[in-house]
Amino acid sequence: MPVLTGAVPIATTTLSAIEQSKRLAAYTAVDKHILPEHKVIGIGSGSTVPYVVERIVAQGRELNKDRVFIPTGFQSKELIVMSNLNLGDVDQFPTIDVTIDGADEVDLDLNCIKGGGACHLREKVLAEAANTFIVVADYRKNAEYLGTNFTPGVPVEVVPFAYAQVLRKLRDVLGSPNATLRMAKAKAGPVVTDNSNFVIDAPFSREIMKDPSTILAKIKMLTGVVEVGLFCDMAQAAYFGNEDGSVTVKRKVESKVVEELILPS
Ligand SMILES: O=C(CO)[C@H](O)[C@H](O)COP(=O)(O)O
């Protein structure tokens, strides 16, 4: 694996090691991929993405005044607005220069589980709309196979009317006996997405998760499923902040994934 120097030096603050790793990944990815010529930028969801926005804001008003930022949901919309960046929508800008988003887990081939924050429908739309889709995460998300460290399962967004039927099919037909409807934490009842749908979390065996595209296609065919939190063959690169201040970069080069380590400078 090639080893490079020059990971963004970040002052040690009171942030936990995991938060520092997220920030490192986000800052490094912004520095490499959000370039002056990029005018339409997709902003993902989760706890790593605020560091993405922080680094973009640090590029300065001059660069950002002509840019439009497209959110993947309520959280990123608020982030964009609160950061005084220009808010846009994917219907106005169906082609995005770069989308940067977090992930719940990323495998050796850059396939991802997403949807831990129930935003995966809009996240997938913005990933597909982007010329370049970049993932940022801390070291815990860097895995050989999906489902290794992220165990709740594959997030499946489903229309409420169909949830019981989809749950039954996931359990009895597709091989996820422990699939469950995601329940809200501070509200009685299920999580309701930004699109007014429910989410089912469906854990699958290692054997099934070794081939995420196949199970993605099968889940997507169930009537009532709106989107599946498996992003197969979509990311061009993933940046993982490590505990020691280095950044592991996995990127696609001619359809192969190559890995580099950027050491702190
Ligand atoms: O897919 C997502 C939300 O639906 C997030 O990107 C994913 O959950 C990662 O979040 P975090 O950056 O907090 O680890």
> Best of 18, 19, 23, 45 to mutate for ligand 1, by most ligand atoms within 8 A of CB?
45
Where residue 211 sits, what CATH number does that domain have? 3.30.70.260
Ligand 1 centroid–CA 37 distance in Å is: 27
Q: Which residues of the chain have pLDDT under 70?
A: 1, 3, 5-13
Contact assessment for residue 130 and residue 99, using Cβ atoms and an 8 Å cutoff = yes
Residues 6+ apart with CB under 8 A from 6: 262, 263, 265
Ligand 1 shell residues, CB under 6 Å? 44-48, 101-104, 114-120, 123
Q: What is the pLDDT of residue 246?
A: 97
Q: What is the pLDDT of residue 9?
A: 59
The answer to whether position 148 is within a domain reads no
The closest-lying atom of ligand 1 relative to the alpha carbon of residue 120 is: 4
Q: What is the pLDDT of residue 265?
A: 78
Task: Based on the fold, state whether residues 8 and 79 are members of the same structural domain.
Answer: yes
Q: What is the pLDDT of residue 13?
A: 60
Q: What is the pLDDT of residue 62?
A: 97
Task: Based on the fold, state whether residues 94 and 188 are members of the same structural domain.
Answer: no
Residues 6+ apart with CB under 8 A from 73: 45, 117, 119, 122, 123, 194
Q: Identify the burial level of 83 via C-beta atoms within 10 angstroms of its C-beta, where 0-12 means exposed, 13-18 middle and 19 or more buried.
A: middle
The single residue of 37, 54, 62, 123 carrying the catalytic annotation is 123
What range does the domain containing 82 cover?
Answer: 3-143+232-264
ipTM greater than 0.95, yes or no? yes
Residues 6+ apart with CB under 8 A from 249: 28, 237, 238, 239, 240, 259, 260, 261, 262
- Dist CA 94 CA 110 (whole Å): 24
Task: Based on the fold, state whether residues 240 and 160 are members of the same structural domain.
Answer: no
Q: What is the pLDDT of residue 213?
A: 98
Q: What is the pLDDT of residue 231?
A: 98
The answer to whether position 149 is within a domain reads no
The answer to whether position 217 is within a domain reads yes
Q: Which residue's CA lies nearest to atom 10 of ligand 1?
A: 46
- Residue 139, number of CB atoms within 10 A of its CB: 20
128 is catalytic: no
